Amino acid sequence: MRHKLTLRSALMAIAIASAPALIAAAPATGDDPYLWLEDIEGTKAIAQVEQWNGETEKLLRASPRFEADRARARAILDDESQIAVPDKVMGSRVTNLWRDAKNPRGLWRSSDLVSYLAGKPNWTTIIDVDALGKAEGKSWVWHGADCLAPDYGRCLISLSAGGTDADVVREYDLTTGKFVEGGFTLPEAKSDVAWADKDTLLVGTDYGAGSLTASGYPRIVKRWKRGTPLSAATLVKEGVDSDISVRPRVEQDGDKRWVFIDRALTFYTNDLYIEGANGQLIRTPVPDTADFRGLIGGQMIVLLNKPLGDIPTGSLVSWPIADVAAGKAGAPQVVLKPTATTVVEEVRTTDNILWVKQLDNVSGALLAMTRDAATGRWTSRSVPLADKATVHLVGTDDKGDRVFASVEGMLTPPSLMVAGAQGPARTVQQLPARFDASQFVVEQRFATSKDGTKIPYFLARKKGVTGPVPAFIHAYGGFRAAQTPTYLTTEPYRAGPLGLFWVEDGNAYVLANIRGGSEYGPAWHQDALREKRQNAFDDLAAVAEDLVKTGVSTKGDIGISGRSNGGVLVGAAMTQRPDLYGAVIAGSPLEDMKRYSHLSAGASWVAEYGDPDVPSDWAFMRKWSPYQNVRTGVQYPPAFFYLSTKDDRVHPGHARKMAAKLKATGSTVYYHEYREGGHSVGADHAEDAVRAALLHAFLTRELVEKKK
């Protein structure tokens, strides 16, 4: 049920919900009166954004807890006891990007591997990103380094101005500690670059008019020789305009480097080519729906997303790489098959071990697999890490046959573990607890969706709280991205310690494992694809209704949250069931599915959602596209939109237009558009901390204070 507002809350809600003059004065443009808000840096659009930002910040920063929340979130995010995750093990050294209060953009640094494994690394700074940006007058954001094996003397450094997906690439010499004068340099673009050898790059980039796909990614890959201009690079592979991208990929197997070209036909279909002995590109036997996961011991490892003959979906298979390169590969060998509840999620290779991270009823498990060269038989060894935990494979020591794994749970602080060829895994580093976990309890429950499918979710509450209390659900539901529970200081994704703040208040936090992800393998994703998208929205509603049915919360007192693709989810949810939800958080969201394929990188996601320009596709998309389903005369749940102006993946027009349309119905809207940061929103921890405090104030106002 909806609760009565206090006089103070009512007045503030009216103030923030009022449609501002800039919107009221906007002339209609065709069927879309808010099309002008798609002008990303347009004077009028930015003026509107600044007005909304100001209204929201004035309101929520007045919350008595705002400053304390912001300071605490910043302290957690900047804590120097954070895990030093290995970027790459390069021979006897390991690299890491370190961000803290003094270095918000990061220090790229290295340590000797021996001291790192002992938990007492000796760090040496390679590049100070903050200092580099200051010296060059750029707002540099680190996008990674690719260092050439086996000596790792030269690296390709990727830096983004302000955090957009586009970046510049510059060659760096680790032996001199300087960028290479006259070395390889690429101007700002959404480039894909790989080392062929020390004097040759394979480059997919913006070569000028006609060189990009309709999705805005490289369509052409060329071979670029040192000492020659990029304009002299020679063609390797060319795609067509309707492709998603064409990109190079180079994989190392022992001392051998293999060159691949990956032509993405759609988001989920790829033609994979390998460069043969004579330099000719040969189409590999990898099905266009499958994922190439790595090389080991002369074997090419592939994950099947659809059946291959009698080999089931979700299986790992292999082909001899030499046969593939010679164009004479036969039938694949089965490496590992899934079970009803156990599926492959991540794969890493070292020189002699295939490391497989599985999900077992949404909890992480690790296998070490080896192949007998004489018999070709694969065997596996289970490597216990932690019970009901989130596990991610974060790095490898190839020569040492070690894999690094991050391990955490909602109540278990993150740790970095290392597993080797023999024996149990051991802890390299574990963070101290950031809160007293003994006062909370986490359960895994299952809701029943509309079609009878059991949907798992994790529920965190204070011990002794039986409800009903305000609840907050985070979900995603797309792109094969499984949602697994992380430490409450990082729940939900990109919202800092919001989950922790919420349960400390005595409320319920929920992470929902709805269809569209990969929690139960490829079929879990396919059940929410295109015309089946409604299943994801039904799954979210089922979780919310299960909270009501079991007495955890009550109808109308449940908040929902989603980012990016999750913006489609919560947008559709609020327009379909405005009675069920009491608050909505949409981060960097997709909302206008009629125009999404014409905005930023939207064309690359047609395989996920459908093509709105195809009448048969729009027939099912229009039923759930959030922007098109906002109706006059309907009071929608209060919504908070957060995003970045510089997001070049999901166009900011989605959030802007949805906010405007909701405001026009008289519904309450909060808005926070950060001017830097790209799709990840925050370019540094300062913005992340502000966002966490704003979101906590929003949820408290809309789901807690309205009960008083």
Q: Tell which residue, 589, 576, 309, has the closest CA to residue 476.
A: 589
CA angle 199, 202, 206 (to 5 degrees): 125
Give phi and psi for 677, each to the nearest 5: 105, -20
- Rounded distance between C-alpha atoms, residue 286 and residue 329, angstroms: 10
The stretches of 557-652 forming alpha helices (DSSP H) are: 565-576, 606-609, 615-621
In the set 474, 525, 679, 685, the catalytic residue is 679
Q: Which residue, chain included where needed, has tokens 């979900």?
A: 475
3-state per-residue secondary structure call for 647-658: CCCCCCHHHHHH
Give yes or no: 564 in active site.
yes
Residue 234 burial (10 A CB sphere; 0-12, 13-18, 19+): exposed
573 touches 540 (CB < 8 A): yes
- The residues that bridge with 158 in the sheet, in sequence order, are 144, 169
- Rounded distance between C-alpha atoms, residue 144 and residue 238, angstroms: 26
39 touches 651 (CB < 8 A): no
Give the DSSP H/E element, type plus range, for residue 93.
strand 93-98
Give yes or no: 672 in active site.
no
Give phi and psi for 239, each to the nearest 5: -100, -165
Amino acid at 432: P
In the set 111, 139, 564, 667, the catalytic residue is 564
**Close Cβ partners of 14 (under 8 Å, ≥ 6 residues apart):** none
3-state per-residue secondary structure call for 656-668: HHHHHHHHHCCCC
- The residues that bridge with 282 in the sheet, in sequence order, are 274
**DSSP string over 498-560:** HHHHHHHTT-EEEEE--TTSSTT-HHHHHTTSGGGTHHHHHHHHHHHHHHHHTTSS-TT-EEE
- Rounded distance between C-alpha atoms, residue 453 and residue 430, angstroms: 37
- Rounded distance between C-alpha atoms, residue 37 and residue 652, angstroms: 8
Give phi and psi for 594, each to the nearest 5: -75, -35
The first and second tokens of residue 281, run together, are 């590109």
Give the DSSP H/E element, type plus range, for residue 17.
helix 7-17
- Rounded distance between C-alpha atoms, residue 648 and residue 206, angstroms: 15
261 touches 246 (CB < 8 A): yes
- Rounded distance between C-alpha atoms, residue 699 and residue 350, angstroms: 46
388 touches 409 (CB < 8 A): yes
Question: Catalytic positions, please?
Answer: 564, 679
